[in-house]
């Protein structure tokens, strides 16, 4: 056991050194609003294991979270799976335009499940697998004279089908309802959707490739409480993501890469400078991810990950917001652990798993996010 732990710890400095050279010193105001604007689009949830690995397994995982990350993973599930996750996140920075401190404290919860449509004992179901899920997030901005609050929930459904023993395809649809309210205005969406088409390929038992394309569309409505005219903001997003996961005995390594384009189309609005939501804007995003997991014992795994977020060129088409244009590149380091208890082979519930993941982001005033997941794979062919 001690040798395995030493091997895992020895790899961590390599990940850390890889990240420090890319640290960015961008302004704290546009770092804060860059992340807030991202969350107004339909986001994809993770569980604690993915999170502890820097998100590097989002495209290669085959459990209930594949419903929203890569629905092709559902098609390679022999069993069902259910999971519940609680998360806490802090986004910090400076307020626009006066430069005061801001902190958004967010609590989130999610519940996902996946099951074979016609299960086959120890085999892939001929009719594929169905996944369903719910995700909710509430945020409260502290140090904020405008008393800004956010509330978001998602409902998701997906289908995955194995077209051979190694290759699977899938499609997922997520609906998002999003509300940001502050003194003087409200920014609300009731019709945002994300379509995801994915594939996974397993080259034997140890190597998995995954890729997906996601297209998002919808709109937000910006309404002023003063009665001045508001506007509808049409939104569009396009994301490509790919990943690979390789098992070497007790060690798993993974890598992932994703690119996104986000676009708001609401016209020019210079009447209220401090409202950074609405109007025309667009952005390009990239995440490069790596992760490693060591199965220290049959019941215990430890994890580490690194993510480089190259959030570049969020550009507002408003002269009053020129100071917020620019990049918000940063490094993020993650870690995690998981324990599991296995039941007898003939039991309907195969195991109970408890996972924890944490991410430290070198952005804002140095931000943290935590996830805890309880999950259980199950077999209905007992």
Q: So what's the pLDDT on residue 27?
A: 65
- Residue numbers in the chain where pLDDT is lower than 50: 1-26
Q: So what's the pLDDT on residue 274?
A: 61
Q: What is the mean pLDDT of the chain?
A: 90
185-203/167-182 β-pairing = antiparallel
Q: So what's the pLDDT on residue 58?
A: 98
Kindly list the distances between the CA atom of residue 38 and the CA atoms of 45, 81, 261, 307, in Å, as whole numbers in the listed order.
13, 29, 10, 17
Number of domains in the chain: 1
Q: Is 121 exposed, middle or buried (0-12, 13-18, 19+ CB in 10 A)?
A: exposed
Q: So what's the pLDDT on residue 98?
A: 86
Range of the domain at 204: 2-378
Name which of 259, 262, 241 is nearest 314 in CA terms. Answer: 262
Q: So what's the pLDDT on residue 273?
A: 52
Q: So what's the pLDDT on residue 381?
A: 78
300-309/330-342 β-pairing = antiparallel
Task: Kindly state the tokens that stand for 122.
Answer: 């120890």
Q: So what's the pLDDT on residue 271?
A: 55
Q: So what's the pLDDT on residue 225?
A: 86
pTM exceeds cut of 0.75: yes
Contact indicator for 168, 76 with CB cutoff of 8 Å: yes
Q: What CATH number is given to the structural domain containing 229? A: 2.40.160.60
């Amino acid at each position: 056991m001690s040798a395995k732990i030493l091997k895992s710890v020895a790899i961590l400095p390599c990940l850390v050194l890889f990240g420090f050279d890319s640290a960015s010193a961008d302004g704290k105001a546009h770092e804060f609003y860059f992340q807030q604007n991202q969350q107004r689009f339909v986001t994809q949830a993770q569980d604690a294991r993915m999170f502890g690995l820097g998100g590097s397994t989002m495209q290669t995982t085959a459990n209930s979270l594949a419903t929203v990350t890569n629905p092709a993973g559902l098609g390679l599930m022999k069993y069902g799976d259910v999971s519940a996750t609680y998360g806490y996140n802090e986004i910090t920075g400076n307020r626009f335009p006066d430069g005061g401190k801001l902190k958004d404290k967010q609590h989130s919860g999610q519940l996902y499940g996946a099951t074979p449509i016609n299960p086959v004992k120890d085999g892939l179901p001929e009719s594929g697998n169905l996944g369903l899920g719910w995700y909710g997030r509430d945020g409260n901005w502290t140090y904020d004279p405008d008393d800004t609050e956010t509330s978001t929930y998602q409902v998701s459904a997906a289908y995955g089908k194995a077209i051979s023993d190694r290759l699977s395809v899938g499609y997922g649809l997520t609906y998002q309802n999003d509300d940001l309210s502050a003194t003087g205005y409200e920014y609300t969406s009731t019709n945002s959707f994300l379509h995801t088409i994915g594939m996974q390929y397993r080259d034997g038992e140890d190597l998995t490739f995954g890729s997906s394309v996601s297209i998002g569309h919808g709109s937000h409505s910006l309404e002023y409480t003063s009665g001045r005219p508001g506007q509808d903001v049409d939104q569009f997003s396009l994301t490509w993501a790919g990943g690979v996961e390789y098992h070497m005995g007790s060690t798993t390594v993974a890598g992932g890469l994703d690119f996104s384009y986000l676009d708001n189309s609401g016209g020019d609005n210079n009447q209220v400078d401090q409202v950074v939501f609405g109007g025309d804007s667009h952005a390009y995003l990239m995440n490069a991810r790596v992760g490693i997991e060591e199965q220290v014992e049959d019941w215990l795994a430890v994890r580490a990950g690194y993510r480089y977020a190259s959030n570049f060129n969020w550009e507002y088409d408003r002269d009053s917001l020129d100071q917020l244009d620019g990049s918000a590149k940063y490094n993020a380091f993650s870690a995690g652990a998981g324990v599991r208890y296995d039941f007898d082979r003939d039991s309907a519930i195969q195991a109970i798993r408890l996972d924890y993941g944490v991410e430290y982001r070198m952005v804002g005033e140095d931000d943290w996010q935590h996830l805890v997941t309880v999950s259980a794979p199950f077999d209905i062919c007992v």
